[in-house]
Amino acid sequence: MVILILLAFIVICFTVDAIVQYSRKKNIRFNDIALVSKSAFNESSISIPKGIYFDKTHTWAYMEKSGLVKIGIDDFLLHITGPLSRIKMKKTGENIQKGEAILSIIQNGKQLIINAPISGTVKSQNIQLTDDLKMINASPYNDGWIYTIEPSNWLRDMQFLLMANQYKEWIKNEFSRFKDFLAVIQRSNNTELVPLMLQDGGELKDNILEDFGPEIWEEFQIKFLNTSK
């Protein structure tokens, strides 16, 4: 009798433990789903600070009191690429022309060429990026700036730049074009690479180019960056 009671107790203990473990796994799955939803990429997740100018090269420019212009990469492009592994910058003293290449951003061998929003001379690089490249993604409009430029014709160049309210409207079209771009890629590759959209007309996956190879990065370069020259 004692043995039967002991066996029954052991069975109950195993059953309770199994229920607890199952419950924990369900919670983990739920939390994972919650994290995925938080990483969705949409218009509300884009930072668009007021007081700076934006360019259709997916860069930004801000004139400081000194007359130098600080420039960097916009938040939209950084959400698409994801964390970078390396960048190639112009040297101090080099002249740049609006619409020409000023920077290469690299992620594990894949790269995009970024074009200049203004013309001028490179006065300084953000050397802190050599020690902490994550600042570009984490703080694109503050600590993640790329260069300070001495502009050669700021009054002319600024006429082609967008203020925050104009940029906000323009970026809506970029979202639409990017969704179409991904849909074409998915059809042409005839594969289910990743859930490119959560639903038709829905949100995009954050850092989505991270999942694609160099050939897709080259297509993105042509469709979204080279056309802005």
| pLDDT tens track for 111-160 | 999 999 999 999 999 999 989 999 999 999 999 999 999 999 999 999 99
Give the per-residue pLDDT at 28.
29
Residue 228 confidence class, pLDDT cut points 50, 70, 90: low
Give the per-residue pLDDT at 134.
95
Mean of the pLDDT values across residues 62-91? 97
Mean of the pLDDT values across residues 60-76? 98
Bridge-based pairing state of the strands 53-55 and 69-73: unpaired
Q: Tell which wins on pLDDT, 1 or 72.
A: 72
Contact 28, 34 (CB under 8 A): no
Residue 19 predicted with pLDDT over 90: no
Contact 153, 67 (CB under 8 A): no
What does pTM read for this prediction?
A: 0.79
> Could you give the CA distance from residue 136 to residue 140 in angstroms, rounded to a whole number?
5
Q: Which fold has domain 48-165?
A: OB fold (Dihydrolipoamide Acetyltransferase, E2P) (2.40.50)
Q: Which of 76-90, 134-148, 182-196, 203-217 has the lowest mean pLDDT?
A: 182-196
Residue 6 predicted with pLDDT over 50: no
Measured from the Cβ of residue 16, the count of other Cβ atoms closer than 10 Å reads: 10
Contact 86, 106 (CB under 8 A): yes
Residue 85 confidence class, pLDDT cut points 50, 70, 90: very high
| Amino acid of residue 95 | N
Place of tokens 């050669």: 152
Locate the domains of the chain by residue range: 48-165
Residue 221 predicted with pLDDT over 70: yes
Strand partners, 162: 54
Q: Tell which wins on pLDDT, 188 or 91.
A: 91
Averaged confidence pLDDT in the chain = 83
Residue 205 confidence class, pLDDT cut points 50, 70, 90: confident
Alpha helices in the chain (DSSP H): 2-38, 75-81, 134-138, 154-157, 164-189, 214-220
Residue 85: both structure tokens together:
């592994």
pLDDT digits (tens, 9 = 90+) for 146-199: 999 999 999 999 999 999 999 999 999 999 999 899 888 877 765 555 445 544
